[in-house]
Every structure is written in C-alpha cells, then in structure tokens.
C-alpha cells in the first residue's frame, strides 16, 4: 500500500490510516428518509419486471389462459366435427395444422383442448392451497398434539403415490367422469406438499417480534394466525402453488392419456396425445401440436414459479 498515508505511532512502528471518504455527510443527509418503506411484494415486483424469464413465462401463461377462456378468438371450427375423407389431410386454408386420423381439425382441437387442461389445473390448485394452508397453518402455529396429529395425517397421504392413487380412484368413475371428478381426485392426493410448506413457513414467522407485539396487545390466537402469520408466510405457498399448477395439468393429461381421465366427449390435450401415438412414425405432427401446447403451458407455470421464488427470496435479491 505505497499510496496510503502513514503516521508513526511510536519509534520503530508504523500504522496506516484509511483515506478520507470522498462522500461527505451532506450527501448522506440529502437522501430522503420520510417516504414509506417498501413492502416485500413491491420489492418482488421490482425484481420480477427486470427478469426476462418472468416476461417469457407471463406471455406463455397469458396465451394458455386466453385459449382456455376464449378459444373462439383463434378458430371458428368445431373441434368435434370430423370427416373421414380428411383423415391425415395436410394443412390447408383455415386448417393450419392439418387433420388427424378421424379427420378432425388438429388446430381446433389444440385450441379448445386448453380449456379442460387449464381448468383442471387452476381448480385443483385452488382447492389444494385451501386444504394445505389450513392443515399446515394449524399444525405449525398451535404445535403440540395438534401438530403431531396433523403431521401423521399428512404422512399417510405422502406415503401414497400421487399418480398411481389417482389412476386407481379414477377407475371407479371410468365412463362417467367429468372435470369435477378429476379435480377432486387430484386435490385429495395433491395437498400434502402445500401443507408441509405452509407448516414450515408458519414456524418461521410465529416467533417474530411483530407476532409477540400483537399478542401483547390482546389479539386472539386465531386473529394473529389469520391477520399476521399467514400473510407473512404466503410467499413460499405462492411459489409452490405456481409450480404445482403445472404438475396438475400434466397429471390430468396423464390420466386422459391412460383413458381414465376426462371422457372422450371432452376435448383435452391428453386425450389427443393418446389418440395420436398410433401414428407417431408416419404422422408425427398429429402428436406434436397437442404435446407442444401442453409442454409450453407447463413450462410457463414452472418458469413463473422459479421467477417468483427468486424475487421473494432475500438471499437471491442480495
């Protein structure tokens, strides 16, 4: 450190003095300190809007939701109308993806298939979040025998393979299943992960100082849980729910592919993939379009979950 000023502390000993900070106290005092502090959600949004992965996933999710809500904006063809004379017909005007084995318009079925798959994913996620949040928050906040009882109850469902259990139960409704049936079956076996995430988040929040302050002000335990604990433990729940939504869409497609999911009269990506597998060698495009739509939709939700997780994680922000 040849440029650092030196002063002698005693004969034969030197000490180094740090350089004077060029930024004076006036510049520090000029920073406004009367504005309201930003919440974790505001900071998360600032992080999200700077990340390309967020915008890419948002476009994919918005496209899937638009297809599910208003498929008529993209095609006027009836997905259930099929003519055998068009079997494996090439792409033409008004039919950009061509026709499948039964002569059905692949583009129309791909567009209309989004409604069933996205509906199952969204409804299942909502039910799973409600069940998992209730079980996990009660177990984490109250502890004791309540925690032990709910933990063992959750372990029972964790021990059951998710897809296998759904296949076995859906066999009971084969031939008379519906979207509601698939949603309820997936929700019954899909809530334990949310419950565990919620329990861990509640355990990390319930001993914070603001919880102690609320308790000292006379707030009841249930009021503290609802007003203070759950809002501050919501970040990991939202991230897990976003990722699981994509998993539930895949699960619905798997059940439909195996013939135990949605009935044949309901247009879905899983059913179209199952039908197209027989022509994979000679007409691969018949399988490509519904499988591609399914993959892009699931990818969008997974990427969104990763982006939200990084934005809400203080360590990632640092």
From first CA to last CA, the distance across the chain in angstroms is 30
pLDDT 10s digits, 12-66: 556 655 565 555 555 555 555 555 555 667 777 888 888 888 899 999 999 999 9
Tell which residue, 246, 250, 317, has the closest CA to residue 42.
Answer: 317
Using DSSP's 3-state secondary structure scheme, residue 95 falls into strand
Max intra-chain CA distance, the chain: 105
Res 132 pLDDT > 70: yes
CB atoms within 10 A of CB 221: 12
Report the distance separating Cα 306 and Cα 102, nearest Å: 40
Res 259 pLDDT > 80: yes
Strand bridging mode 13-16 / 6-10: antiparallel
**Residue 135's pLDDT band (boundaries 50, 70, 90)?**
very high
Res 1 pLDDT > 50: no
Per the listing, tokens 């999911």 go with 261
Report the distance separating Cα 119 and Cα 71, nearest Å: 13
Res 153 pLDDT > 80: yes
- DSSP bridge pairs for 10: 13
Where are the chain's structural domains? 53-317
pTM of the model: 0.80
Tell which residue, 241, 205, 245, 196, has the closest CA to residue 226.
Answer: 205
Cα dihedral sign for 253, 257, 262, 265?
A: positive
Range of lowest pLDDT (32-41, 137-146, 198-207, 273-282): 32-41
CB 109 within 8 A of CB 272: yes
User: Mean per-residue pLDDT for 201-217?
Assistant: 84
Res 161 pLDDT > 80: yes
Measured CA distances, 85 to 82, 103, 171, 277 (Å): 9, 7, 35, 20
Res 175 pLDDT > 60: yes
User: What is the CATH code of the structural domain delimited by 53-317?
Assistant: 1.10.3720.10
Report the distance separating Cα 199 and Cα 203, nearest Å: 6
Residue 287 is predicted with a pLDDT of 86
CB atoms within 10 A of CB 155: 11
Report the distance separating Cα 293 and Cα 203, nearest Å: 39
Which tokens is 12 given? Answer: 């034969």
């Amino acid at each position: 450190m040849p440029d650092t000023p030196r002063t002698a502390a005693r004969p034969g000993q030197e000490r180094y003095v740090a350089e004077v900070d060029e930024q004076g106290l006036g510049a520090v005092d000029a920073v406004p300190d009367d504005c309201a502090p930003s919440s974790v959600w505001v900071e998360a949004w600032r992080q999200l809007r700077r990340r390309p992965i967020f915008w890419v996933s948002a476009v994919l999710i918005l496209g899937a939701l638009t297809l599910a809500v208003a498929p008529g904006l993209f095609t006027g063809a009836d997905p259930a109308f099929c003519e055998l004379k068009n079997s494996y017909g090439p792409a033409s005007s008004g039919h950009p993806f061509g026709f499948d084995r039964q002569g059905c318009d692949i583009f129309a079925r791909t567009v209309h298939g989004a409604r069933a798959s996205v509906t199952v994913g969204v409804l299942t996620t909502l039910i799973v979040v409600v069940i998992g949040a209730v079980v996990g928050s009660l177990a984490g906040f109250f502890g004791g025998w309540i925690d032990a009882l709910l933990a063992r109850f959750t372990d029972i469902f964790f021990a059951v393979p998710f897809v296998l259990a759904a296949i076995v139960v859906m066999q009971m409704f084969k031939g008379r299943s519906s979207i509601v049936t698939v949603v309820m079956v997936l929700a019954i076996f899909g809530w334990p992960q949310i419950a565990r995430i919620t329990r861990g988040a509640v355990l990390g929040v319930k001993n914070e100082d603001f919880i102690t302050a609320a308790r000292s002000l006379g707030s009841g335990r249930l009021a503290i849980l609802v007003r203070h604990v759950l809002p501050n433990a919501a970040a990991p729940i939202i991230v897990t729910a976003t990722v699981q939504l994509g998993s539930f869409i895949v699960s619905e497609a798997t059940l439909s592919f195996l013939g135990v999911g949605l009935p044949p009269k309901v247009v879905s990506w899983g059913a179209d993939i199952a039908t197209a597998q027989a022509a994979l060698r000679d007409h691969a495009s018949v399988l490509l379009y519904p499988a591609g739509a399914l993959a892009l939709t699931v990818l969008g939700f997974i990427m969104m979950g990763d982006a939200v997780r990084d934005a809400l994680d203080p360590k990632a922000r640092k």
